[in-house]
Amino acid sequence: MVSHTLLVMSLILFLGLNTFLVAHANYLNQNIDITWGDGRGNFQNNGTLLNLTLDQSSGSGFQSKAEYLYGKVDMQIKLVPGNSAGTVTTFYLKSQGLTWDEIDFEFLGNVSGDPYILHTNVYTQGKGDREQQFYLWFDPTAEFHNYSILWNPSHIVFYVDGKPIREFKNLEAMGVAYPKSQPMRMYGSLVKTNWSEGPFVASFMNYNSENACVWSTDNGTTTTTPCSPGDSSSSSSTSTSECRKVLKWVQKKFMVYNYCKDKKRFWQGLPVECDAKKNNKNKNKNKNKT
């Protein structure tokens, strides 16, 4: 029987062979800070392993030491097995301040036998409301799977095992805000709202930010480490016909919620980006008339 005085959740984060642009090391304690939890997070195995603990008083979480302005980050995650209802595992990028930018992966736990829900969202200048949710086409608790965020001046792409599942384009020309000037850190956490089935374990490994552009301020001067702003190769871009087919396949088969389809919620009209092609055509027509 699980103790009512202390229920422990361990979240394991392991860095393997990957390196950061600046630190060039495989040690979490050189690249990651435990930022909350009052001692419930700790490094092990010479800093290559991070355990986050959650009890009835508090959870815990971490963040990257570096901030990034554009790039690609990857994390391998193995989610909480069994009855994980009420748990939320997170992997996301976020800037600071009241008008923050944020790019989210959130994994919403389930009752045994039901699928996890992968929740994605994009915040710009403190405003979100751009949720898309998916079931996964595999058991995310059986083994590790790779989750990636590509963020560059053209678009944001969410990937699962290298497959694009969502694209958020830069449509500033149509009046849609886009995260472009605020550097972001990587964050992760495991939290719980229902204790009846604890304890729980989610595992993270092989964090890779080699393709992320590190942001720094030295002597009052802001600089970005030279790098490619995200992988623009055909294997990662959604511009190729094959990747477009994969994106459509995932969204057709596994998407369970799309804010762009929720006319009841947006009864005064869907957000501009939800029908970008139509709005762009109308804009071009108006230009031609003048």
Q: Give the span between the Cα atoms of 130 and 103, in whole angstroms.
A: 10
Pairing status of strand 155-160 against strand 145-151: antiparallel
Query: Catalytic pick from 67, 102, 167, 197?
Result: 102
CA-derived radius of gyration, the chain:
20
Q: Which of 65, 207, 214 is nearest to 149 (CA)?
A: 207
Q: Count CB atoms within 10 A of the CB of residue 42.
A: 14
For residue 149, the SS3 value is strand
Entry field: residues in the chain: 290
143 among known catalytic residues: no
* Dihedral class, residue 141 (left if φ above 0, else alpha if ψ from -120 to 50, else beta): alpha
Q: Give the span between the Cα atoms of 148 and 151, in whole angstroms.
A: 10
Q: Rounded to whole angstroms, what are the CA distances from 14 to 89, 96, 221?
A: 16, 26, 33
106 among known catalytic residues: yes
Contact 106, 221 (CB under 8 A): no
Active-site residue list? 102, 106
